Amino acid sequence: MAAKRVRLRDLVERFGGELVGDPDTEIERLATLRTAGPGDLAFLANPKYRGELAATRATAVVLPVAERDASALPRIVAKDSYLYFARVLAFLNPRARSAPGVHPSAVVSPGARIGAGTSIGANCFVGRDAEIGDDVEIGPGSYLGDETVVGQGSWLAANVTINARCVVGARAIVHPGAVIGADGFGFARDGERWFKIPQVGRVLIGDDVEIGANTTIDRGALDDTVLEDDVKLDNQIQVGHNCRIGQHTAIAGCVGIAGSAHIGRNCKIAGAAGIGGHLSIADGTVIGAATAIVATIDRAGVYTGMFPALPHREWQKVAARLRRLDELADRVRALERALAQRSPG
């Protein structure tokens, strides 16, 4: 954490909120309620942590409006205490940037256009007719193919691959090992062998998108794979060819999305979920962890297909009963028919 001392009054002037207590209280770090000490600012977002609030050693806290008087410490009261805390954290811990310029070991092809204030790290490759905007940072070992576009203010970490003709919008963050624009998984059967279908589409990524480490986004077969503005992808996600992901959707780690799936806006998809190909998911849908989606969802809601963990012996009993559901259903129907026949009239 950065050691940047700041007064509570300065934070309120910058980010808003109600200040309760000494406005000249100084903090220099942010910490959780449990681990905070003198000089730290902590926050409460979930009422179940009130006990930790009572015991915290923090110098000051950020509280939601409903918990305004839950502490006697100097405090900032905010409509969304978690978001407020995140903004203060970003303010006190700005990302260190590399100096502008092209490292001597980088290779920039003829015709590539490099914006002002842009940094290209060691052992990078920038292809023919690539276009890189102003104030972009490209980490060591990254590869940008021919005719790629990277928008203003984006940050590509080390060893990022963006293949030919793919487009990344402004202010994107792409973490190490991400691959954008690899071939989609497309094959046609040729007798007993597979014939590879050329993948000639692109990947088009909007503004303010974040892509996690080792996440892979395949180019389209004919049409483009599209991520709209403000999409957030965690680590180790697979996005198949011709997919479309709507604005403000957030997807957690290890999710697999098969080709030509269309995911709506403002969706939330938890870790290890699987999304089948050629289906659609409505705007505002929430999908639970490890849930398999095999049919279109046309109505927003919360969908869960994971069976929660049980002690092994109990799980064996439940599994044994599940295997007999068809048999039990047949018996119930038989009983219903027998009762119907016995009923008078």
What single-letter amino acid sits at 326? D
Is 260 found in the same domain as 207? yes
pLDDT at 330 over 50: yes
pLDDT for residue 18 is more than 70: yes
Query: How many angstroms separate the most distant Cα atoms in the chain?
Result: 95
Long-range (24+ apart) CB contacts under 8 A made by 300-307 are 300/264
Q: Cα separation of 229 and 161, whole Å? A: 20
Per-residue pLDDT tens for 25-49? Answer: 999 999 999 999 999 999 999 999 9
**241 catalytically annotated:** yes
Q: Which residue has the tokens 């996005």?
A: 239
Does residue 138 sit within a domain? yes
Cβ–Cβ < 8 Å for 171, 208: yes
Shared domain check, 247 and 174 = yes
Domain boundary among the residues 35, 62, 92 is at 92
Number of domains making up the chain? 3
- Given the residues 175, 241, 248, 262, select the one marked as catalytic: 241
Q: At residue 1, does pLDDT exceed 50?
A: no
Are 273 and 245 within one domain? yes
The pLDDT, as a whole number, for residue 4 is 79
Q: Would residue 141 count as lying in a domain?
A: yes
- Is 325 exposed, middle or buried, given 0-12, 13-18 or 19+ CB atoms closer than 10 A? exposed
Contact 185, 203 (CB under 8 A): no
203 bridge partner residues: 225
pLDDT tens for residues 50-84? 999 999 999 999 999 999 999 999 999 999 999 99
Domain shared by 82 and 110, yes or no? no
- 70 and 206, same domain (yes or no): no
In this structure, is residue 222 part of a structural domain? Answer: yes
* pLDDT tens track for 267-306: 999 999 999 999 999 999 999 999 999 999 999 999 999 8
Residues 77 and 220 in one domain: no
pLDDT of residue 3: 59
In a domain, 109, yes or no: yes
Considering the domain boundaries, does residue 149 fall inside one?
yes
Task: For residue 132, report the phi and psi dihedrals to the nearest 5 degrees.
Answer: -115, 125
Top mean-pLDDT range of 52-61, 89-98, 331-340: 52-61
Cβ distance 295 to 279 under 8 Å?
Answer: yes
Residue 345: the pLDDT is: 57
**138 with 159: CB under 8 angstroms?**
no
Give the mean pLDDT of the chain: 96
Instruction: Give the separation between CA 205 and CA 337, rounded to whole angstroms.
Output: 59
Closest alpha carbon to 234 in 173, 152, 293: 173
> What is the phi/psi pair of residue 109, to 5°?
-70, 155
pTM of the model: 0.91
Average pLDDT, integer, range 329-343: 89
Same domain, 335 and 295: no
Which residues form the domain of 325? 312-342
For residues 218-240, average pLDDT: 97
- With the CA atoms of 130, 131, 135 and 138 taken in that order, what torsion angle do they form, in degrees rounded to the nearest 10? -20
Specify the pLDDT at position 6.
Answer: 96
Of 121, 48, 31, 34, the C-alpha closest to 85 is 31
Angstrom distance (rounded) from CA 175 to CA 169: 15
Q: Which of 50, 66, 92 is the last residue of a domain?
A: 92
250 and 267 both lie in a single domain: yes
- Here the CATH number for the domain that contains residue 207 is 2.160.10.10
Question: Each residue of 255-268: pLDDT tens digit?
Answer: 999 999 999 999 99
pLDDT given for residue 148 in this prediction? 98
Tell me whether residue 163 is in a domain. yes
The CATH number given to whatever domain includes residue 53 is: 3.40.1390.10
Residues 168 and 257 in one domain: yes
- The answer to whether 33 touches 56, Cβ cutoff 8 Å, is yes
**For residue 10, pLDDT beyond 90:** yes
The domain boundary residue, chosen from 70, 92, 114: 92
- Which pair of tokens denotes residue 87? 């903004």
> For 312, phi and psi rounded to 5 degrees?
-55, -45
* Rg of the chain, C-alpha, whole Å: 26
- Tens of pLDDT along 101-121? 999 999 999 999 999 999 999
The whole-number pLDDT of residue 307 equals 84
pLDDT reading at 204 higher than 90: yes
Q: Sign of the C-alpha dihedral, residues 16, 18, 22, 28?
A: negative
242 domain-assigned: yes
Residues with Cβ within 8 Å of residue 69, at least 6 apart in sequence: none
Spatial contact of 199 and 241, defined as CB atoms under 8 Å apart? yes
Residue 120, beta-bridge partner list? 102, 138
Domain co-membership, 235 together with 329: no
Rounded mean pLDDT, 239-244: 98
Q: What's the pLDDT score for residue 2?
A: 47
Distance (Å, whole) CA 93 – CA 135:
19
1 within domain boundaries: no
* Pair (71, 182) in one structural domain: no
Percent of the chain with pLDDT over 90: 93
Residues 62 and 145 in one domain: no
